Amino acid sequence: MDNESEINTAWPQGSRVWCKNTARMLILEATTFKPVVAGGSGDMTRAVYDGNNDGRVDAADTVSDGENVSSAANVKDAVDKKHSNSLDHSNSLDHSNSLDHAAAHNLGGAGHNADTLANLNLKVSDADLVAFAGQIGGTAASPDVRGIRETGGPTLLTVAAVADGQYLKRFGAELLGDTPAGGSNPAWYGVLYSARGDCDPIRQAEQEDMLAVAGPTPTGITISLARCVMFTPPANITINRIRLFGVGITASLYKFAIYPVGAGSARAWESGTVTTAANTWLNISAGLPITLTAGVKYWFCVTAASTGTTAGFRSPAAPLGTNYWGADAAPLGNRSLKLAVYAQFGVTGGAFPATLPAVAAAAYAAGTTGSVPFAWLDSVV
C-alpha cells in the first residue's frame, strides 16, 4: 500500500503489508498493525503461529482430516458422552446429535427411530426379557397365570392342586381343590333305575308293592296307540336287562320301546313282542345293551300287537286326569321336580315308528286298568 492510513484491522490476524511511504513491513496483531522486527532468515514470529496469544499454536485448536474440521472442544464433548460398552449401538437405534447420550433417556423419545420388538430382542443377550413375579410365571415367550387377586385384602391367591370334579376352596393364600362333604350319590345311580320320573327304584318298589293295579290290557291300549311315561336318568347307565313283573299269561301281545323326548328323535330301543306269565319276572334282553345319558329326558312306551283282555303286567294307576298329569303342558308336568309325565302317540298296527311322532296328553287318564307298566332298567347282565 502507499500509506499506512489504508490499513484495515478487519484483515485476518497475522496479515502483513508493506508501506511504500514509510518503507516498512507491518503485521496485524490483535487490533494493531505493528512494525515487523527484523530477524534472521526464515524465522517465524509468535504473531504468525499464535495469533490469539493464548499460548497454543493456532493449528492445534482444531482437528482436520483435510475434509472435515472440528474444534478440540467438540471432540472432547463427544468423548465424554461416549456410551458404556454394555449397550450395543447398532443401526437399529438412531443416535442422532439431538440425543444426549450422557443422561438417561426414553427409548420412545424423538432421538430413536421406530423399531420392532423383534429387532430389539436380537440385541438383548438375556432370553428372559421380563422378570415375572406375583401371579405371573413361565417365560416371556410362554407366560401363564398362576393365581388370582381377590379384593378383600387385597390378597394374591396362588392356585394349588385341583383334581377333576373338585370345586375351589380358599385356604390361607391358596386356592385348592376340595370335594363337597355331606354324602355321596345313592348306590343305585348308574346301576338300577325305574322307568319313570327321577328313576328312583326305591320309590317304585314301594309303589309296585302297595299301590299297583293290574296293568293295561292289550285291548285297552289298542294297536293304534302307544302309552308313554317320561323319565330322566340322574347318571349315565348301560342297560343290559329290562325287567317287568307279570300278573297274567299273554302270548306275544305287548311291545315296549324307548325314545328320547322330542318329536323326530330316533328310537333308542324296541323289545319286539313279549310273552308274560303270572307272578313271574320277565327279563327282556332283545335289542340290548343300550346306554342312556344323564340329564336327558326319555319316554318309556308300551303298545299292543293285537287284542287281548288279560292284563300282563303290574302298573301304577292311570293318571287322575289330563289336567293333573297329562302332557308336558300340564300344571305338574315338565318341571325340575322330575315327576312322572304321561302321554301318548299314534302307531299303526302296533308298530313303533323309527322316529318319535308328536305326543299328546294321555287320553287313558281316569281309567281303571293302569297306565304304563312298571319297568326296571338294570345294568346287571
Q: What is the pLDDT of residue 332?
A: 56
- Residues near 343 by beta carbon (within 8 Å), at least 6 away in sequence: 228, 230, 299, 326, 327, 328, 359, 360, 361, 362
Grid cell, residue 65, equals 482430516
pLDDT digits (tens, 9 = 90+) for 248-277: 999 999 999 999 999 999 999 999 999 999
Does residue 69 lie within any of the structural domains? no
pLDDT given for residue 17 in this prediction: 77
Which domain, by its residues, includes 20? 4-49
59-63, 159-163, 276-280 — which is least confidently predicted? 59-63
185 falls within a domain: no
Q: For 345-364, how does the pLDDT look when each residue is reduced to its tens digit (9 = 90+)? A: 999 999 999 999 999 877 77
Q: Given this model, what pLDDT does residue 103 score?
A: 59
pLDDT score, position 98:
47
Average pLDDT rounded to a whole number, residues 85-113: 54
Mean pLDDT computed over 105-115: 67
pLDDT grade for 185, boundaries at 50, 70 and 90: confident
Residue 23 lies in a domain: yes
pLDDT tens for each residue of 167-183: 888 888 888 888 877 66
Q: Quote the pLDDT of residue 113.
A: 74
Residue 117 lies in a domain: no
Q: Report if residue 62 sits inside a domain.
A: no
Closest CA to 257 of 333, 326, 356: 356
Q: What is the CA angle 9-13-15, rounded to 5? A: 80
What is the rounded average pLDDT of the residues 298-309?
95
pLDDT confidence band for 150 (50 / 70 / 90): confident
How large is the average pLDDT for residues 101-122? 66
Query: Does any domain span residue 98?
Result: no
In the chain the first and final C-alpha atoms are separated, in Å, by 137
Provide the number of structural domains found in the chain. Answer: 2
Percent helix, strand and coil across the chain, each to the nearest 5: 10, 30, 60
- Distances from the Cα of 35 to the Cα of 5, 27, 121, 347, angstroms: 14, 6, 70, 141
In a domain, 28, yes or no: yes
Residue 308 has, within 13 A of its CA and on its CB side, a CA count of 21
Amino acid at 284: I
pLDDT value at 381 more than 70: yes
CA distance 377 to 231: 11
Strand-pair partners of 258: 269, 300
Backbone angles phi, psi at 47, to 5 degrees: -60, -20
pLDDT bin (cut points 50, 70, 90) of residue 82 is low
| Mean pLDDT rounded to a whole number for the chain | 80
Q: Note the pLDDT tens digit of each residue in 34-72.
A: 887 665 555 666 777 777 777 677 777 777 776 777 777
pLDDT of residue 87: 45
| Count of CB atoms situated within 10 Å of the CB of 111 | 17
Q: Report the pLDDT value the prediction gives residue 239, as an integer from 0 to 100.
A: 98
User: Residue 159 falls within a domain, yes or no?
Assistant: no
Q: How far is it, in rounded angstroms, from Cα 39 to Cα 279? A: 154
pLDDT at 241: 98
For the CA atoms of 84, 86, 90, 95, the dihedral, rounded to the nearest 10 degrees, stands at -30
Is residue 221 within 8 A of residue 372, CB to CB? The reply is: no
Whether residue 273 contacts residue 218, with contact meaning beta carbons closer than 8 Å, is answered with: no
Residue 24 above 90 pLDDT? no
Of 323, 339, 120, 309, which is closest to residue 229 (Cα–Cα)?
339
pLDDT at 272: 97
Question: What is the structure's pLDDT at 88?
Answer: 47
pLDDT class of 27 with cuts at 50, 70, 90: confident
User: Comparing C-alpha atoms, which of 88, 86, 61, 89 is closest to residue 75?
Assistant: 61
> Across residues 76-95, what is the average pLDDT?
56
| The residue type at 18 | W
Mean pLDDT of 82-102: 48
Q: What pLDDT is recorded for position 189?
A: 95
User: For position 279, which CATH number holds?
Assistant: 2.60.120
